[in-house]
């Protein structure tokens, strides 16, 4: 089997998992979008996934996104890029205004830096539901103030919430994110329409879909294990 065939087969399996999970939850499979996480994977892997019908790709590192996007920009069907990693404000220039969705806005400073680029930018807010010190994301208590800041912005929009749950304990966190979304969606704010829940990865996409995910971010099940970082 070639690498392209392997990626096509993996994608078909992931799509089947998504469809089965959606049906089991009484939801339409079309209500869940698949984001293929291509971080650390070469541009040719992205091309193979596009040839197999995948459109949206997630990257975690600003310069990697910039370089890969440049390689693929002239292709007949360029990817729809999403940025899913943490972002330092000095790297916002590589990302803001260039991606379909920024998944991990987690501070007023980052929001302001994106807004300052002056280009329209749909965003999600990453929430640290568990309050883990090691994880990024706004604390639930700080979410309303961050959404208020979107409401006062001219260029950024907030389209939903994003979560990376702690290992082994995902369901309660997915449910908590959904409850936060439902609570904040009841507050009318300009530039804020909390329709997306970006949650669920290779290990737990079924649970996330059962709890209302509208975007699942899947890397390993499509592209295999990522290369280890250099020591
Ligand atoms: C924010 C985020 N979402 C999703 C993924 C994909 O995870 P997996 O390879 O387990 O599907 C990653 C991978 O690093 C990630 O950083």
- Residue 213: half-sphere exposure toward Cβ, Cα within 13 Å: 32
Burial of 70 from C-beta contacts in 10 A (0-12 / 13-18 / 19+): exposed
| Cβ neighbour number for residue 16 with a 10 Å cutoff | 11
Distance from the alpha carbon of residue 156 to the mean position of ligand 1, in angstroms: 24
User: For residue 101, which of 81, 119, 78 has the smallest C-alpha distance?
Assistant: 81
The single-letter DSSP state of residue 149 is H
* Low-confidence residues in the chain, pLDDT < 70: 230-231
Atom nearest to 37 CA in ligand 1: 6
Alpha carbons 123 and 158: distance in angstroms, whole number:
5
Residues 158 and 125 sit within 8 Å (Cβ to Cβ): yes
- pLDDT score at 229: 72
Distance from the alpha carbon of residue 187 to the mean position of ligand 1, in angstroms: 31
Q: Is ligand 1 within 6 A of the CB of residue 222? A: no
Q: At CA 113, angle to CA 191 and CA 68, rounded to 5?
A: 95
- pLDDT score at 135: 77
- Residue 197: half-sphere exposure toward Cβ, Cα within 13 Å: 26
Alpha carbons 59 and 53: distance in angstroms, whole number:
18
Give 47-100 pLDDT, tens digit per residue: 999 999 999 999 999 999 999 999 999 999 999 999 999 999 999 999 999 999
Residue with tokens 């339409």: 28
User: For residue 107, which of 134, 93, 86 has the smallest C-alpha distance?
Assistant: 86
Q: Is ligand 1 within 6 A of the CB of residue 217? A: yes
Q: Is ligand 1 within 6 A of the CB of residue 37? A: yes
- Verdict on whether the full-model pTM lies above 0.95: yes
- Residue 125: half-sphere exposure toward Cβ, Cα within 13 Å: 32
Residues 69 and 91 sit within 8 Å (Cβ to Cβ): no
Alpha carbons 110 and 123: distance in angstroms, whole number:
11
- pLDDT score at 176: 97
């Amino acid at each position: 089997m070639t690498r392209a065939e392997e990626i096509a087969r993996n994608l078909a399996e992931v799509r089947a998992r998504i469809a089965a999970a959606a049906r089991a939850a009484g939801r339409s499979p079309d209500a869940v979008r698949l984001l293929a996480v291509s971080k650390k994977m070469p541009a040719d892997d992205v091309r193979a996934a596009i040839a197999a019908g995948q459109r949206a790709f997630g990257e975690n590192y600003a310069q990697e996104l910039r370089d890969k996007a440049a390689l693929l920009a002239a292709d007949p069907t360029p990817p729809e890029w999403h940025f899913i990693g943490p972002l330092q404000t000095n790297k916002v220039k590589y990302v803001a205004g260039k991606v379909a969705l920024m998944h991990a806005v987690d501070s007023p400073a980052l929001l302001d830096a994106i807004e300052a680029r002056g280009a329209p930018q749909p965003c999600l807010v990453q929430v640290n539901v568990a309050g883990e010190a090691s994880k990024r994301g706004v604390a639930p208590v700080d979410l309303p103030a961050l959404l208020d800041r979107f409401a006062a912005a001219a260029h950024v929009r907030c389209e939903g919430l994003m979560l990376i749950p702690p290992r082994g304990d995902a369901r309660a966190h997915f449910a908590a994110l959904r409850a936060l979304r439902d609570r904040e969606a009841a507050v009318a704010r300009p530039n804020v329409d909390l329709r997306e829940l970006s949650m669920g990865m290779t290990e737990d996409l079924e649970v996330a879909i059962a709890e209302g995910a509208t975007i699942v971010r899947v890397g390993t099940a499509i592209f295999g294990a990522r290369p280890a970082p250099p020591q």
